């Protein structure tokens, strides 16, 4: 069955500027980095544009697929039923620029921190809500199978009760036979 794409995320136009300013702040704070500022803006501008062009986040009916990278391209595919937390983070500079960081954590992930961290998604709260809504829909689809499990358990329990009663009758008959 082909998975349906529910939403393809877009990224904010000012995301590259945010990364450039963040990098410049780090270089400025380190004495060694101050001379590198002259190289940072042309190289950083090229790198951030290329990185953003290679980024994508796609929500399908069953999973979240995130692609990114310049030299090493990475694709993370996260089944929606494995997602345990989706957080929205907004620092002071992000708030000024209207950006959010969306982090996704999963059950059983190794290491600390988020498995996926995306900065600058257009309408990040809306994208988060769509992921949570689709996760809920997916769990609703699986819940009828889980609801039928108690009836199967009741049938097994009834059989066990009948078997126990039969065993008690047999024990009583054997006890009467050997006691007489």
Long-range contacts of 28-31 (CB under 8 A, 24+ apart): none
User: What is d(CA 76, CA 117) in angstroms, rounded to the nearest whole number?
Assistant: 11
Q: What pTM was estimated for this model as a whole? A: 0.71
Torsion of CA 80, 86, 88, 91, to 10 degrees: -120
| Whole-number pLDDT of residue 146 | 52
Percent of the chain with pLDDT over 70: 90
| Interior angle at CA 158, CA 155 and CA 163, nearest 5 | 125
Task: Read off the pLDDT of residues 53-103 as tens digits, 9 standing for 90 and up.
Answer: 999 999 999 999 999 999 999 999 999 988 989 999 999 989 999 999 999
| Interior angle at CA 46, CA 45 and CA 52, nearest 5 | 85
| Whole-number pLDDT of residue 119 | 94
Kind plus residue range of the DSSP H or E element containing 102: strand 101-106
| Whole-number pLDDT of residue 143 | 59
| Whole-number pLDDT of residue 27 | 84
| Whole-number pLDDT of residue 139 | 82
User: What is d(CA 81, CA 139) in angstroms, rounded to the nearest whole number?
Assistant: 7
| Tokens standing for residue 50 | 């290329």
């Amino acid at each position: 069955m082909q998975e349906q794409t529910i939403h393809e995320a877009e990224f904010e136009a000012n995301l590259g500027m945010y990364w450039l300013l963040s990098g410049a702040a780090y270089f400025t704070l380190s004495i060694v980095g101050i001379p590198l500022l002259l190289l940072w803006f042309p190289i950083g501008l090229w790198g951030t544009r290329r990185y953003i062009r290679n980024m994508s986040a796609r929500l399908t009916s069953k999973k979240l697929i995130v692609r990114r990278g310049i030299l090493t391209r990475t694709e993370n595919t996260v089944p929606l039923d494995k997602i345990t937390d989706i957080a929205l983070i907004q620092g002071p500079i992000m708030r000024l620029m209207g950006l959010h960081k969306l982090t996704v954590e999963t059950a059983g992930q190794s290491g600390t921190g988020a498995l996926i961290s995306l900065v600058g998604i257009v309408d990040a709260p809306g994208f988060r809500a769509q992921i949570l809504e689709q996760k809920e829909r997916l769990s609703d689809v699986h819940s009828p199978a889980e609801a039928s499990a108690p009836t199967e358990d009741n049938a097994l329990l009834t059989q066990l009760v009948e078997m126990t009663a039969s065993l008690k009758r047999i024990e009583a008959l054997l006890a009467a036979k050997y006691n007489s």
